[in-house]
Structure formats: C-alpha cells, structure tokens
Structure 1
Amino acid sequence: MNYSKYYPIDVLNGEGTRCTLFVSGCIHNCKGCYNQSTWSPDAGELFTDQVADQIIQDLNDQRIKKQGLTLSGGDPLHPANVEQILKLIQRVKRECEGKDIWMWTGYVLSELNKKQKQIIELVDVLIDGKFVKDLADPSLAWRGSSNQVVHYLRKASVNE
C-alpha cells in the first residue's frame, strides 16, 4: 500500500483533533475529485511499519489529545489497500484506547466484499459513495455531494 499524505494533527477531516492518512489507489475516478493525485495505487510513498508505528505513537501522544484516526484517499477500501488498512485499524483498536476511526470511501455499503466488511466492522464513522460533481454541496457536513451518506456505525468509546 502507498500513501500520499499523513497529517499527525488535523482538525478538518472528522470530529475533534485527529491523525489523518490519505492512502493511494482509487478506482472510482470521480469527475471533480479534489484528490486526483491519489488515484494510482503507486502514487506517493510506501506505507511501512515505521509509518504505522508513527501513527500509533501520534494517536497516543498526550501533549495533544486526539480523538482518533481518519482514513481517506484515494480510497482506503481499494483492493491494493485492504490488507494494510485492516492491519492498521486492528492495531489502533488494540493499542490506542478510546480512539475512534473515520473512513471515506467511494464504495457504498452494499458493494463491499467480505474483506472490506471486516474493516468496516472496526470503523466508527463511514462516509460512503462516490463524489458526484452535479450533487456537490459545500454546506454538507463531512461529505462533498448529497448522494454520499455519513454512517455512524458505533458510538465512539472515547475515555478522555
């Protein structure tokens, strides 16, 4: 898996202060996408164990309390990303007490395969659906177009 950007402190991509990882690889190729540079699975840099370790360390850093991890892209559920995303989310749930996970994907829930559903079972908030330029609405919370849906899948267990 490759990633295009990692922000250890982010207040734009989900509720609260977060760590945000933009992965590479997207098959949806939405017209008007603001992140076209992430479409190729080979774009950006290789996601390594060291990057994963840094994310865990940043989530657990007590100097700036973070609510959780945001995964966007590209598409975290792209076939080239599924194994590493599952591994990362499992680590976050195991090693970062009380942190929630937000994820953006161009897929919709009904399209997900078994492995993708395994990931979603660990996600707290999922924003699904392709960006549709004709349905774009900048007033929408957490989504770019009105066809996208914000799914609050589980109540976050933030203990802070």
Structure 2
Amino acid sequence: MLLSKNKQFLAEDFSCQRIASYQPFNAVDGEGIRCSVYVSGCLFNCKGCYNKVAQSFKYGELYTEALEEKILTDIGHEGVQGLSLLGGEPFMNTQVCLSLVKKLRERYGLTRDIWIWSGYTYDELCNESEDKQELLSYCDILVDGQFIQELFKPNLAYRGSLNQKIVDVVKSKISGEEVLYSI
C-alpha cells in the first residue's frame, strides 16, 4: 500500500503506543549485539511482510516507563552496540520511539548506535512531518523502503528485497545527499 505524500500525517493520529516485541541482546537486527524494539502498527501492508501481526496498532503490550527503563538498562550492558527499531513502522510510532531515543542519547551519548527499519525511503522522510524528521535526526543507520515480494532475495544483509537500501544517515546529513552504508 502506498501512502499519500500528505505531510500532515502525524504518528499520534494512529499510534496506540504499543510494542509488538522487545528482543534484548540479539545479533540479527543490525551490526553487533543489539536491543531490538518491534513497535506495533503499520499502514504500508506490504505483501509478504514477515511481521504481519505487528501491522495492527493495537497488537502487543503498552509501552511503559518501566519497559523503557529496562530497555535503556539493557542497552548499557557491556558489548551492546546499539538499539534497533523495527515494526510495524517506527515512523508511525514516533511518540514511543522518540521517548526512547532521546533518553538513550541523554544516557549514553553517541556510544550506542541507532538503526531503524522503515517502509519510508530516506528522501521521503527528509520531506515528511516534523515528528518523522525528528526521529530521523536521532538515527545513525536507516534501512529504507517497503518490502516488495517480487524483489525478495534471500541472504541480503539486513533487508529483504532489492529495492531496500541501507542509508548512513549521519554521513548523508553531512554530505547533503544520500550516502549508502558500507557493510
């Protein structure tokens, strides 16, 4: 499903502030050992989505301060490289994601990286609503683009279909143009 380019769409219009799953200390969702938060809710409805259940904004558990503190404490463990935000769609859940990434940066500075998976492209997010642009400003690496089943290729690093890109957001901001991440 392609969403309209209406920049007035805010996550608060849909988000129920829930997460589908929290997976601490995994080595699948990005480089190194990571703490992965799968938010609930996505309107893209990609055919072949691997996490279809998380498309419902009402799925999973309510995001609480206690859960947030557990995630932040886990991220502080030695050997954890960073936080991964997946879904669902993180940019349709900016209240949850912004709360977490702001506190992560306050507590750990730049010693932990932030990876986000999104159906939006980098270019779309750069021209989106303020809440989405603010979340993007905390992101180090963005795996962008909707999953397209016809472009599925097994064993792609960190993505499922050939149209999806791994964008180095930090370098992209510095250069003023999209810079792909080197694996």
Q: Which residues in structure 2 correspond to 1:6-21 (within 5 Å)? A: 6-21=22-37
Equivalent residue, structure 2, for 1:102: 115
Runs of 4+ in 1 over 6 A off after TM superposition: none
Equivalent residue, structure 1, for 2:82: 68
Aligned CA RMSD, in angstroms, stands at: 1.1
Q: Please, which runs of 5 or more residues in structure 1 have no aligned partner?
A: 156-160
Deviation larger for 19-28 or 113-122:
113-122
Equivalent residue, structure 2, for 1:158: none
Shift of 1:139: 2.6
Equivalent residue, structure 1, for 2:43: 27
Q: 2:96 aligns with which of 73, 76, 84?
A: 84
SS in 1 for 2:106: helix
Normalization by structure 2: what TM-score? Answer: 0.80
Deviation larger for 90-99 or 129-138:
90-99
Structure 1 residue 117 corresponds to structure 2 residue 130:
no
Equivalent residue, structure 2, for 1:43: 59
* Identical-pair percentage: 38
Contact 1:3–1:47 under 8 Å retained in 2: yes
Contact 2:122–2:142 under 8 Å retained in 1: no
Q: Deviations over 1:81-139 (max 9, x none)?
A: 11221111111111124000000011112323221011111100001110000000113
Distance 2:108 2:87 in 1: 22
Equivalent residue, structure 2, for 1:5: 21
Distance 1:122 1:8 in 2: 20
Return the structure number with greater helix share. 2
Q: 2:161 aligns with which of 121, 125, 145?
A: 145
SS in 2 for 1:91: helix
